Amino acid sequence: MLRTLLLLTVLLVQVPAATVLCLGDSLTAGYGLSETEAWPARIQEALAARGVTVLNAGRSGDTSAGGRQRLAWSLKAKPDVVIVALGGNDALRGLPATDLEANLMAIVRACQQAGARVLIAGMRAPTSLGAEYGRAFDAVYPRVAAATGAALLPFLLEGVALDPSLNLADGIHPNGEGHRRVAALVLPALTPLLEPVHAAP
């Protein structure tokens, strides 16, 4: 028993801790809920045993420009992986898709230059903004991922958006169960990015 405990201790020491930064807006911050109910906290719960720390850098109302402005401060945490989940407020405000692309490109490049792997969590434009805007907006995420080599989760709210049972009364922000669903969607996309961090030397 003692040898087993010692072996487990050695193995745990050899596994470097990893930090994941979730840079986003109210969908990441957990609007209307406690931070412990937001999807970054759910991922923290799932990965805690692996020595992973998940930081919630979600700020309600943030656009991609806002995320870009506070990125340098957020990167002081020296994350191994950054999940970029921005753009929802750009769409709600009808901001140009070209601006979204420039901001996301700058964010991803800065994260990579800081030594972090990046997972881009895509958003989709509301249909009320028209088909032309929707096509331009939705195409930004795969284009930025292809240009930078970042991993891509096509839509952060896949299976959650527009489902009344998974959203608050405003129809925009996920409820507690909705955040659990989002975490379950993000986790498989995130896990491969953690493997090099935990690889044996």
Catalytic annotation, residues: 26, 170, 173
- For residue 196, the one-letter residue type is P
For residue 144, the Cα-to-chain-centroid distance in whole angstroms is 15
User: Residue length, the chain?
Assistant: 201
β-pair partners for 52: 18
Element of type H or E holding 69: helix 64-69
Can you say whether the dihedral through the CA atoms of 162, 164, 167, 173 is positive or negative? positive
Residue 151: CB partners within 8 Å, gap ≥ 6? 117, 118, 119, 120, 145, 189, 192, 193
- Tokens 């989709």 belong to 124
